[in-house]
Structure 1
């Protein structure tokens, strides 16, 4: 009996002395591999990001634009010199032609200076980037040693296999892939690259007078009028006009000799169907403009002297309620902007239901004119100083300072794509550009700047060396 009692007590004593097990388990792992150098990876990532931020498309674009500009301007200079040698009358025409050539030489010298500085900068940039890329390559080669499972090598092998498979497929039963060709409208000149100039600057026969107006060429002239130029001046309160003034050539416009003279819409100014605002264009022998005191486009036929009109949608802003503006001022009675390009006439405006955003509509050449397809944009009209059309693309400008205007926005009517970062600058001769018209005849941009007529050359990617000036 005694042994029976002593054994349980001993067992109980032994159990109570055991340590309570813990829930945590600590293990020591010793790896034969070197620790991964995250600092080197971060350095390689930062270097790659620096290369990406340094080498931008804008820098290569600037160099391409300068080279293209010289490629276009040098043949133009040669052409102008040849024309001067051939047609020099040793009087006014010769003096004007020589003045234009002097301006062209000055611009070409400035472009060469910019090209030299840009080329030197690009050379230094290329050398620095080459060294940085070599350093990045060495860093990545070192980091690949830590890829013990060879994941990167397998990915590279898969990429090579996929490329070989695509080449085999394209060269086999399937025809080679061709770039998708855009349907419908295409621009015969290629991509819009830049603007150079001014090429022409003149006050005509009224220096300092008639601040607001417009000028240009007819993109679809009648036979015998191919070299004619036109000018509209707002002669009443800088708001209204009732005639268009014609010139037989650019030289005549520069010296202020108006032949055949004025073509009058109405003897009174302003009155029904006369011009309101500076944004007018001439197309196929007819003047398109904002009708006086109406939300409508008027078309004045210069031959028949007849006026037909096109009513714009209900809610269209007019009478200076939807003007072009910048921070310091608005340009009065610029509610409607008429524009021409390779396809015809366009009207740019805004409505109350579109909350002030730009609308673009095609004006069809019917009798009377009709409103064609309309496109809505997301750019606010009062943040824009001017617009123009080129190859079915709407371009908008904004005020930078008294010496510079920027083409900052584009809207492609073919794709519906908007671009708020066009980044093409216009050197101004005066603070305000009060109208802007593109001429598809000679790819010139005609600006009316505080009573001065100024033109700029538009550079396209595929533009030929013909200059029908």
Structure 2
């Protein structure tokens, strides 16, 4: 062994060196004086980290939120019942019965409180335990880093930080500002980001139906401002035949007191909902009619259906669905959107080469199509759309964790933009339904059986 090689080796590893001569050969004996790397300690840290991930889940935290919402709703209901009882003038005919009902409600509220207290105590213990585990893991990793004689970890961190910084700088240079919406039309400014999710929960159906839609009436009747609607595609993830309504968001999350309104008696049949894209506007549901290229308008009060046909070369019955490289979203040929001005339908035609078309739907009875706009965006490269102040925003699938708003079309200026980079943090892999509510500026999302809301941030 040469002197230079030996010098390099002794710098890298703490070595003991001895030299002897055997016959005509020079023999070097090298011994590592450092203690062996504690592999078991590293394995222990990895195991603890995995246990933390399995123990603390978003589903458990959502369960706590649902308990709190349910408790708030029951207390509110109890207050209303007590006020009603105080106003009763029944000459004590029903007083005892009313008091018994209130007594039962108080008992149920106490049960909810007990369950909430138990859950909170469990989470507090879990929080303390997890904090201690994290501190132990941190101390262990500090000790393990002492075995990094070549400072590989430090150099890796520095290199990774520089890389992330450079990437961030490049993105800032490359990202053009999203389109500006005229303040005279809406007064909101431009969309700059998406925050959330604010709401994240399973419905009362749990994971039974992965395709569906939900939200609020964008133009509710007086007294219905707090109502929420939910539609699940209960037949083959393609067809639905009834709308479920709840009085508040709390009752929807807890599955309390729903009202079902049936469009048809079975699936699939005439007037059945086809595909997950639909909206509620002015007490009517707008959706793709079963096996046609028509828009259906279902009046929630009269339970009557009116239709208006799209162009004859409109794709329907899974001809131009939303899609990405990995999958298609079945029977999403037509998408419906609400904004500050009303209802739109988004679709594709063969005459426009499968590219996205936008038509304004006048919500008369029967509905009629108003102005139509053609875009250069192919519909099969899209996963969803929504409208804000007359601007169409379009999303695409980036990966399992991220959806991206990448495109916009301004119906006033006819300007198209392909360079938007507004990310939506996903909780599930796929988004089957997405719509904007002009009343609260939230995006309502149905994602693999979960319902979510996101807040649009404007400049």
TM-score w.r.t. the length of structure 2 is 0.62
- Other structure's SS at 2:398 match: strand
Report the counterpart of residue 254 of structure 1 in structure 2: 253
Q: Deviations over 1:340-373 (max 9, x none)?
A: 0111000000001111100000001222100010
Whether 1:443 aligns to 2:427 is no
- Other structure's SS at 2:253 match: helix
Tell whether the 8 Å contact from 1:185 to 1:392 is kept in structure 2 after alignment: no
Q: Distance in 1 between matches of 2:358 and 2:181?
A: 21
1:24-423 residue pairs with structure 2 within 5 A?
186-259=185-258, 261-423=259-421
Q: CA deviation at 1:258?
A: 3.9
Q: Which runs of 5+ in 2 are unaligned?
A: 1-67, 79-108, 124-160, 170-179
Larger Rg: 1
Q: Distance in 1 between matches of 2:336 and 2:234?
A: 19
Tell whether the 8 Å contact from 1:184 to 1:414 is kept in structure 2 after alignment: no
Q: Distance in 1 between matches of 2:310 and 2:250?
A: 38
Tell whether the 8 Å contact from 1:409 to 1:422 is kept in structure 2 after alignment: yes
Q: CA deviation at 1:188?
A: 2.3
Tell whether the 8 Å contact from 1:245 to 1:258 is kept in structure 2 after alignment: no
Q: Distance in 1 between matches of 2:255 and 2:435?
A: 20
Structure having the larger proportion of residues in strand: 2
Question: Matched residue pairs, number?
Answer: 303
- Structure 1 pair 272–229 and aligned structure 2 pair: CA distance change class (3 A): same
Q: Deviations over 1:48-89 (max 9, x none)?
A: xxxxxxxxxxxxxxxxxxxxxxxxxxxxxxxx99x98xx788
- Structure 1 pair 383–443 and aligned structure 2 pair: CA distance change class (3 A): same
- Other structure's SS at 1:382 match: helix
- Structure 1 pair 204–370 and aligned structure 2 pair: CA distance change class (3 A): same
Tell whether the 8 Å contact from 2:181 to 2:189 is kept in structure 1 after alignment: no
Q: Which runs of 5+ in 1 are unaligned?
A: 1-79, 103-116, 126-180, 462-469
Whether 1:433 aligns to 2:435 is no
Q: CA RMSD in A?
A: 3.0
Q: CA deviation at 1:202?
A: 1.0
- Other structure's SS at 2:286 match: strand
Q: CA deviation at 1:256?
A: 1.4
- Structure 1 pair 185–304 and aligned structure 2 pair: CA distance change class (3 A): farther
Q: CA deviation at 1:410?
A: 0.5
Q: Distance in 2 between matches of 1:191 and 1:403?
A: 25
Tell whether the 8 Å contact from 2:182 to 2:189 is kept in structure 1 after alignment: no
- Other structure's SS at 1:251 match: helix
Tell whether the 8 Å contact from 1:213 to 1:434 is kept in structure 2 after alignment: yes
